[in-house]
Amino acid sequence: MSIPVSGQHAAAYRAREVPGPLRVGDGVHAVPVPLNGSPLRSVTVFLIETSDGLVLIDAGYEHPSCWESFTASLGEIGHDLADIRLVLLTHDHPDHVGFAHRIRAASGAAIAMGRDDDFAHQRRVRGGGFLVQLRGALERTGAPRDVIDGMYGAAVKVAHHAENLELDHSPEGDSEHVLGDTTILGIHTPGHTYGHTVYLDTSRGIVFTGDTMMAEGPTQLAIPSLPGDDPAGDLLASLDRIRDLGAEIACPAHQFPYRDIARRAEELKAHHQAELDTVERLLRTYDTAWEIVPHLEWAKPWDELGPGTKRFALVHTLSLILGVTRRSPAIMG
C-alpha cells in the first residue's frame, strides 16, 4: 500500500468522489477534474508554479464538465488561463490530451508529448491511433467475432476523439523542459503507451507518473500493434527508471499522490512479473489470449467484470503473451 500525501484525497478516491484541488508541495497543485461517462470517475492534472508562469501536466478530457471544473479550480488557487506557459502530456489517451488545444488557444502555451505518442507519428508508423490499434489487437486475441465486434463498438463510444492535436515539441526519448527557475525532466517510460513520459520536477523532488505507476492496482499494458512490441518488458524497465529517480512524491493521473515510490515500484514489478509467470504456465495448455484471460487474477472474477474491463483485460493478456514469447521463444514453438 502506498502512503498518501493527503488522507482526504485517498478517501475521496475510495469513495468514488471527485475532491477539490490539493497543494501537493511548494508551488505544486493537484487538480482533479471529472470524467463524465467514464468508470474512472476523474483524472488529475497538475499545475507547477515557476518564476515565468505555470506548467500544466496533462489536460483532462475534451468535455464541458472537465473544462469548467478545471478553470474553476484554476481560479480557486489564484491563477488564470493566461498564466499557463507550457503543457506537458504524459501520453496520448483522450483523458490526458483533451483540452490541451484550448489551453494553447487561450494562453499561447507550448505543448509537448513523447514522439511515439504523437498522433501524426502513430498514423505513419502504426497505421492509426487508439481505435485502429485496438481493433487490430482484438483480432489477434482469438476471441469470437461477436465478442470482438461488441468490445470494439463499446470502445468507440468512450474512446473516440479527434486525434489531431499538433505538438510544439515531440521529443524522442528523454527530454528537458525549462521554464523560469524550474527544470523538468521528461523520462521516457513506455509500457502503458509507447511514448509515455513521466516528468520529474528536479528542484521539488516530485515525479508526475501519468498512468504508469498509480498508488494502487496494476498498470494497464499498451496495445500491441507492431511485431516487436513488448509492453510488459517495457513496463518492467520503466518501473526501474522511476524507482531510481530518487523522487519523494509521486503524482499519478488517477487515484491520489503518494510517497514511498521505490517500494511501490517494486510492488508493481512483482505483480506484473507474477502475471508473466502465470501466462507462461498457462501457455502450456492454452493458445490464445481469449482462452487464457479467464484464468488470470482480476479485480473480480472474469464472468463478473464489466464489458470495458473485460476489453482491457483481454488486450492486457495479449501483451503479456507477447512478453512471455519475447523472453521464452520456445513457448510458442
Residue 178 β-bridge partners: 183
CB 145 within 8 A of CB 101: no
Half-sphere exposure of 227 (CA within 13 A, CB side): 0
Predicted local distance difference test score (pLDDT) of residue 160: 66
214: nearest Cα among 242, 185, 253, 243:
253
What interhelical angle do 307-327 and 130-139 show, nearest 10?
70
Question: Above 90 in pLDDT, residue 257?
Answer: yes
0.75 exceeded by the pTM?
yes
> HEC string of the chain?
CCEECCHHHHHHHHCCCCCCCEEEECCEEEEEEECCCCCCCEEEEEEEEECCEEEEECCCCCCHHHHHHHHHHHHHCCCCHHHEEEEECCCCCHHHHCCHHHHHHHHCCEEECCHHHCHHHHHHHCCCCHHHHHHHHHHCCCCCHHHHHHHHHHHHHHHCCCCCCCCCECCCCCEEEEECCEEEEEEECCCCCCCCEEEEECCCCEEEEECCCCCCCCCCCCCCCCCCCCHHHHHHHHHHHHHCCCCCEEEECCCCCEECHHHHHHHHHHHHHHHHHHHHHHCCCCCCHHHHHHHCCCCCCHHHCCHHHHHHHHHHHHHHHHHHHHHCHHHHC
Contacting residues for 123 by C-beta, under 8 A, at least 6 apart: 129
> For 217-236, what is the mean pLDDT?
96
Name all domains of the chain by residue range, CATH numbers in brackets: 3-127+164-281 (3.60.15.10)
The pLDDT tens digits for 100-155 are 999 999 999 999 999 999 999 999 999 988 889 999 999 999 999 999 999 999 88
Q: For the chain, what is the radius of gyration of the CA atoms?
A: 19
When mean pLDDT is compared over 73-77, 151-155, 305-309, the highest value belongs to 73-77
Question: Above 80 in pLDDT, residue 279?
Answer: yes
Predicted local distance difference test score (pLDDT) of residue 329: 65
Predicted local distance difference test score (pLDDT) of residue 193: 97
> For 58-65, what is the mean pLDDT?
91
